[in-house]
Chain A
Amino acid sequence: MMTLTAGENVASGTSRKVLGRGLAVLGRAIREQPRIFAVAVAGSVLFGLMVVASAFVVGRVVGEVVVPAIASGSVGTGALALAATALLGISVLRVVGIFGRRMGAGYMQYRLQADYRRRVTRRYLELPLSWHHRHATGTLLSNANSDVEAAWHPIAPLPFAVGTLVMLVGAVAALFVTDWALALVGLAVFPALFALNVAYSRRMAPRQARAQRLRAEVSGIAHESFDGALVVKTMGREAQETGRFADRAGELRDALISVGRLRGIFDPMLETLPSLGTLAVLMVGAYRLRQGAIDVTELVSVAFLFTVLAFPVRAIGWVLAELPRSVAGWDRLRRVLDATGEMPYGDSRLDASSAPATLTFTDVGFAYEPAEAHLPGAQVLGEVSFTVPAGKTVALVGPTGAGKSTVAALAVRLMDPRSGTVRIDGVDVRDLAADSLAATAALVAQVPFIFDDTVRANVSLDRPGVDDEAVWAALRLAEADGFVAALPDGLDTMVGERGTSLSGGQRQRLTLARALAGRPRLLVLDDATSAVDPRVEAAILAGLRSAEAGGPGASILVVAYRRATIALADEVIYLEQGRVVARGTHATLLATVPGYADLVTAYEQAEVDHDRQRTYDEVTPLTSGLEVDR
């Protein structure tokens, strides 16, 4: 660990770097939305100049209308009307300035946010699944939401800050024109105010960042703890979980108090400084008045100027305060926007009307890139070769973690193999056009995914040629027509997050119907019928193989545990640790491959053992439990 001073040095070094990089991000924003930025800055400059002008008008009103009127006891109505009109006119121009500045800044910020949300989500759609695997869902959500927001947040006060800079220059110039002595007071006060703002932002930024980080951590703990509420409850760990939450909530409290204390130091000082300036003007102005260098008009103008300038100067502080967050958000965006590894599609097309497709794996190897070195997931597939002949059903069997789902994903090119090739009808899937591949092969995954949309949209996905008739046909085939017909609005019923919630089996059948609706020539089922009755499953598979289903008929690759499912297959491929250990008919494998026999006959074995066990049931039990003190 570094000493405190060293740490501070590093921190201020980085904050200087952050300033530079933050300004670069702002520069990019301006380059991307130059016109609207120009409008906003023009509005802001107008506003700023009117603020300065108002001070001088007020000064003149006092010096040339109020003083003579009170001194003489008579009112010059012409001058008075002019003064009132000038004040109102300035007010109107300020409103115009506000409109330009705030509307411009707001529209610019929102446009940039929308634009970058579009870009980021486009990347999500383009980047391969292997990239998705390496990133947590929560991270990707916040990339598109809070990071985009953070990156463009300083845009809102930016035109105000730019306008304020112009205003300050204008104010100092006006001061010099009025009187050099008063200008010196301004030169002392304005830079001091500016410096105070900068110091404030600099100290505030790390505190805010820390509070923000702790806020995210507190929320993470709450999310996890409530998601695991059942486990917490059944194990009686409420107090410990609360302790874990309280620790972090306490840190957050301390961080927020430290933010508040800093605010307590700087906010009153930032208000007092311009007041001291005004008092200085009063003193210096009186001397200059005696010397005859200025008159009352000018004195009041300058005093008023100090009062009205204090607030806008803070806008500069706001921009600076937001920069570190902006840079951090931008860096996270860049990681998405600059990520590489898209899976480009080819332009070969398969004949859509021909018979069931043939799927061939040749020496296919695959390794997942782990998200972090210590995580598992480097599950390897090595030299897998097999063929699903046209119109045939092949079952993929293997123990948990053998790589079955990976094979299924490779078959429809959700990912590309590290070595070897996957072909459909002799064409390397990497050469196929995206729509041709999707029209040819369909995968039904282990965990059903339902879009927050209508039943119709979930099944058809707006694919050409999938009309209501096709949707109903697919639902019938997946035995989902019954429950869909019973839904309040039939096909128009909203399902998913904000609609009717479906049972696991219903969700599975809906995703099955989605695959069937496209009349694929190759169907890959990744343990996709576990919640479906075996009889239904058999009917589905039989219906698919024949042309009667309305399509060309399909070749099927099915990942399964159930013997009922396996029995329907023409051939079984047995995987163990990413390698094809054996292939053949179910009967052959049962007779010749011990691992396979163990797996598929586990339940029968259990039954045999169970009967045997009854005979020596009272044999000494194994050492029970753990010998640990409670």
Chain B
Amino acid sequence: MSAIAEETKPGPEQAESTWMTLRRGLALSPELRIGLVGTIGLALVYMVGRVAVPVAVQQGIDRGIVNGLDFEALFTVVAITVGVLVVTTACGYLMMRRLFTVSETALAGVRIRAFRHVHDLSMLHQQSERRGSLVSRVTSDVDQITQFLQWGGVILLVNLGQLVVTTTVMLAYSWQLTLVVYAAFGPAVFVIRLLQRRLAAAYGVVRQRTGALLAAVGESVVGAPVIRAYAVAGRTARRLDEAIDSQRRAQQKAIRISIMGSSVGELAAGLALAGVVVLGVFLGADRTLTIGEVTAFLFLVTLFIQPVQIATEVLNEAQNAIAGWRRVLDVLDVAPDVADPGERGRELPAGPLDIRFTGVSFAYPGGPTVLHDVSLEIPAKSRVAVVGETGSGKTTFAKLLTRLMDPTAGAVLLSGVPLTEVRFDSLRSRVVMVPQDGFLFDASVADNVRFARPELTDEQLAAAFTELGLADWLDGLPAGLATGVGERGEALSVGERQLVALARAYVADPDLLVLDEATSAVDPATEVRLQRTLDAVTRGRTTLAIAHRLSTAQSADEVIVVDRGRIVQRGPHDELIRDPDSVYALLYASWLEQTR
């Protein structure tokens, strides 16, 4: 939100932070400075090419034409100019080549670093609402910078340089005429800048309306079954039309402002040309200027129009690109709150892992405490079920155990080692969690299952499915292991996706397996069967299952009951149901009511 707001209101404070952004950006990508002086030098030479022709016209007219035709002099002027043009053209090529190579390489580096950084951020930053904007940090924001550099950046650089060079040449001919040109363009630039500000706001509206349009189209596509079932296509069409038309109106408003800007520039050019002619004639009559010089000035004025117009237009794009750059840098500036201790970290001791929570509390930033002072020990190799109402804190428990988040107080230890000291590569290979939403990548079943261990062969994968008792299900797929799962696994049913996610965790061969309602969408018969095989194949490791259906709890060695962020009961199922008023007994009664 704030990023969008910033983007649409360039103000005086923006200018300051533009420099800040550039400095931060350069500090992050020092390679951008490589050969920068050389590139700017080439750019300056390239710009000289643009004033070469007016100077040649002046020299040619004054030396070779009006004061009696002198072909030798004229030929010399033309030959020198051609030589200059060849050199400046070559410099232009070299300048662009260097600029693009350096900037694209640097920005690709920034893009990749930002991508990795997003993955290093904790779950709190990766929540679904923010995901879209995180994606745009490594895509459209970086694209905006590179596109700007490819089009606008060069234009800006060349045209601003051209203004400087042209002004210098104009001053060399006549300071009076230069003054006329600046007098004509000065107010125009001022008006154009004002219009640019309005234009930026207008483009902000366009972007916002485009977002609304996309949302409306998305709704009509994703909600197609509902729209059809309720026969509300007419209503949907009206909403779409509104979104489409309001985007069009915003676009038309923006272009009207943009045209006003270029018209002002055009009028200023006309004014400057007329002014130069009038004053130039008087100065010429005074013998202050030659015919060639006045003529050259007329050429120079046209060289002045384009850069002024283009530069003001491009400055606007520059603001957007810099805003994009700032957003990328801002993401990189967020320190990973759940950081990998890296080199300094420790390995988890070999063998089955035991779990210890000491005085663990957790609260989401700005939210209420969801886990209160939890202390417990779970011996290695035990199979534990965590049960509780929705919102009781049981998923938080699992996230702390797998160090997706760090507790706000207390510590979590695996086999005596505090999790915060464990190197991530050790932690992630030994501790695996299967989340409820078994996200699948748009690849084959096989590639999804071997996600953590790419070296596994198809035979090994098939064997894993067999061990899990899922061989029949696998055989039923159109292409077996090679079956594509579609975008986010949407070609499979929700329950089938969970089966694949489970197999994926299983082949990762962890010593601590955490299942967060991992089979909630599988049909009861399959779930029970799966539960049974899982129990068998995970024997010898520690497993912790967040249970949605209490059938899981019944077969666990121990049940931990979480209620409002505290552990209220623990023990085997049979013991826990003995007290009919206990939280677990009530949960169990409700479960029985549902299942029979």
| B295 engages A66 (CB within 8 Å) | yes
| B229 engages A443 (CB within 8 Å) | yes
B2 interfacial contact with A, CB 8 Å:
no
CA distance A234 to B100 in the complex (A): 38
Contact bitstring B197-239, A, C-beta under 8 A = 1, else 0: 0000000000000100111111111111111111111011100
CA distance A240 to B97 in the complex (A): 32
A392 interfacial contact with B, CB 8 Å:
no
B583 interfacial contact with A, CB 8 Å:
no
Please provide the chain A residues from 1 to 50 with a CB less than 8 Å away from any CB of chain B in the complex: none
Residues of B within 8 A of A69 (CB): 281, 284-285
| A227 engages B439 (CB within 8 Å) | yes
Whether A111 contacts B248 in the complex (CB less than 8 A), given A257-B101, A296-B66, A626-B464, comes out as: yes
| A70 engages B226 (CB within 8 Å) | no
CA distance A525 to B230 in the complex (A): 14
B582 interfacial contact with A, CB 8 Å:
no
CA distance A554 to B554 in the complex (A): 39
A114 interfacial contact with B, CB 8 Å:
yes
| A73 engages B139 (CB within 8 Å) | no
| B525 engages A218 (CB within 8 Å) | no
Q: How many residues of B contact A (CB 8 A)?
A: 197
| A514 engages B594 (CB within 8 Å) | no
Q: Which of A222, A304, A511 meets B138, CB within 8 Å? A: A222
A106 interfacial contact with B, CB 8 Å:
yes
Please provide the chain A residues from 94 to 120 with a CB less than 8 Å away from any CB of chain B in the complex: 94-95, 98-99, 102-103, 106-107, 110-111, 113-114, 117-118
Q: Which of B135, B143, B150 meets A260, CB within 8 Å? A: B150
Q: Which of A58, A215, A401 meets B493, CB within 8 Å? A: A401
Whether A230 contacts B255 in the complex (CB less than 8 A), given A66-B291, A451-B219, comes out as: no
Q: Which of B217, B245, B269 meets A145, CB within 8 Å? A: B217
Q: Which of B267, B442, B452 meets A235, CB within 8 Å? A: B452
Please provide the chain B residues from 276 to 296 with a CB less than 8 Å away from any CB of chain A in the complex: 277-278, 280-282, 284-287, 289-291, 294-295
B538 interfacial contact with A, CB 8 Å:
yes
Interface centre among A250, A275, A283 (most CB of B within 10 A): A275
CA distance A451 to B223 in the complex (A): 8
Q: Which of A103, A268, A503, A609 meets B92, CB within 8 Å? A: A268
B578 interfacial contact with A, CB 8 Å:
no
B16 interfacial contact with A, CB 8 Å:
no
Count of A-B contacts judged by CB separation below 8 Å: 505
- Shortest beta-carbon distance, B476 to chain A, in Å? 8
B335 interfacial contact with A, CB 8 Å:
no
Whether A249 contacts B467 in the complex (CB less than 8 A), given A145-B213, A219-B135, comes out as: no
| B255 engages A226 (CB within 8 Å) | no
Residues of B within 8 A of A501 (CB): 129
| B451 engages A230 (CB within 8 Å) | no
Contact bitstring A377-388, B, C-beta under 8 A = 1, else 0: 110000000000
Residues of A within 8 A of B235 (CB): 461-462
- Shortest beta-carbon distance, B8 to chain A, in Å? 18
B50 interfacial contact with A, CB 8 Å:
yes
| A237 engages B555 (CB within 8 Å) | no
A593 interfacial contact with B, CB 8 Å:
no
Please provide the chain A residues from 607 to 630 with a CB less than 8 Å away from any CB of chain B in the complex: 607, 609-610, 613, 621-626, 628, 630
CA distance A84 to B298 in the complex (A): 13
Q: Which of A65, A252, A452, A598 meets B525, CB within 8 Å? A: A598
Interface centre among A91, A122, A241, A622 (most CB of B within 10 A): A91
Contact bitstring A60-71, B, C-beta under 8 A = 1, else 0: 011001110110
Nearest residue in B to A600 (C-beta to C-beta)?
Answer: B524
| B119 engages A259 (CB within 8 Å) | no
| B225 engages A62 (CB within 8 Å) | no
- For the side of the interface on A, what is the size category? 35 or more
CA distance A522 to B93 in the complex (A): 73
CA distance A282 to B299 in the complex (A): 14
Q: Which of B236, B255, B256, B302 meets A307, CB within 8 Å? A: B302
CA distance A127 to B233 in the complex (A): 11
- Shortest beta-carbon distance, B184 to chain A, in Å? 11
| A103 engages B256 (CB within 8 Å) | yes
Nearest residue in A to B492 (C-beta to C-beta)?
Answer: A376
- Shortest beta-carbon distance, A499 to chain B, in Å? 12
Q: Which of B104, B492, B523 meets A256, CB within 8 Å? A: B104
| A599 engages B523 (CB within 8 Å) | yes
| A141 engages B85 (CB within 8 Å) | no
| B53 engages A279 (CB within 8 Å) | yes
Residues of A within 8 A of B237 (CB): 121-122, 125
| A607 engages B108 (CB within 8 Å) | no
Contact bitstring A220-236, B, C-beta under 8 A = 1, else 0: 00111111111111111
Q: Which of B64, B118, B233, B482 meets A374, CB within 8 Å? A: B482
B interface, by DSSP: helix, strand, loop or mixed?
A: helix
- Shortest beta-carbon distance, B320 to chain A, in Å? 17
Residues of A within 8 A of B232 (CB): 438, 461-463
Nearest residue in B to A72 (C-beta to C-beta)?
Answer: B285
| B240 engages A121 (CB within 8 Å) | yes
B196 interfacial contact with A, CB 8 Å:
no
| A264 engages B274 (CB within 8 Å) | no
| A442 engages B229 (CB within 8 Å) | yes
Contact bitstring A530-569, B, C-beta under 8 A = 1, else 0: 0000110000000000000000000000000111100000
Residues of A within 8 A of B252 (CB): 106-107, 110
A173 interfacial contact with B, CB 8 Å:
no
CA distance A229 to B294 in the complex (A): 67
User: Which of B74-82, B166-174, B364-372 lines the interface with chain A?
Assistant: B74-82
| B222 engages A621 (CB within 8 Å) | no
Nearest residue in A to B435 (C-beta to C-beta)?
Answer: A230
| B306 engages A121 (CB within 8 Å) | no
B344 interfacial contact with A, CB 8 Å:
no
| B139 engages A219 (CB within 8 Å) | yes
| A401 engages B496 (CB within 8 Å) | yes
Whether A602 contacts B527 in the complex (CB less than 8 A), given A73-B287, A289-B65, A628-B456, comes out as: yes
| A91 engages B269 (CB within 8 Å) | yes
| B217 engages A630 (CB within 8 Å) | no
Whether A561 contacts B220 in the complex (CB less than 8 A), given A84-B277, A233-B404, comes out as: no
Residues of B within 8 A of A296 (CB): 61, 65-66
CA distance A451 to B236 in the complex (A): 10
Nearest residue in B to A496 (C-beta to C-beta)?
Answer: B219
| A375 engages B491 (CB within 8 Å) | yes
Whether A376 contacts B491 in the complex (CB less than 8 A), given A606-B551, A607-B551, comes out as: yes
A136 interfacial contact with B, CB 8 Å:
yes
Residues of A within 8 A of B139 (CB): 215, 218-219, 222
| B213 engages A286 (CB within 8 Å) | no
| A452 engages B215 (CB within 8 Å) | yes
Residues of A within 8 A of B596 (CB): 563-564, 601, 604
Contact bitstring B481-519, A, C-beta under 8 A = 1, else 0: 011101110011111100001001101110000000000
| B492 engages A534 (CB within 8 Å) | no
CA distance A498 to B244 in the complex (A): 18
| B65 engages A267 (CB within 8 Å) | no
CA distance A328 to B442 in the complex (A): 24
CA distance A136 to B56 in the complex (A): 61
B569 interfacial contact with A, CB 8 Å:
no
| A599 engages B525 (CB within 8 Å) | yes
Residues of B within 8 A of A375 (CB): 478, 483-484, 486, 491
Nearest residue in B to A102 (C-beta to C-beta)?
Answer: B259
| B248 engages A267 (CB within 8 Å) | no
Residues of B within 8 A of A409 (CB): 225
3 shortest interchain CB distances as A-B pairs: A91-B270, A236-B428, A260-B100
Known: A222-B135, A300-B61, A449-B222. 6 other contacts (CB 8 A): A58-B273, A84-B278, A91-B271, A110-B251, A434-B231, A514-B230
CB-defined A-B contacts under 8 Å, sample of 27? A62-B291, A84-B278, A91-B274, A95-B266, A103-B255, A107-B252, A121-B240, A145-B214, A225-B115, A229-B123, A230-B437, A235-B508, A242-B119, A246-B112, A256-B150, A260-B100, A263-B100, A268-B92, A268-B93, A279-B78, A282-B56, A311-B306, A399-B523, A400-B526, A434-B231, A442-B230, A443-B229
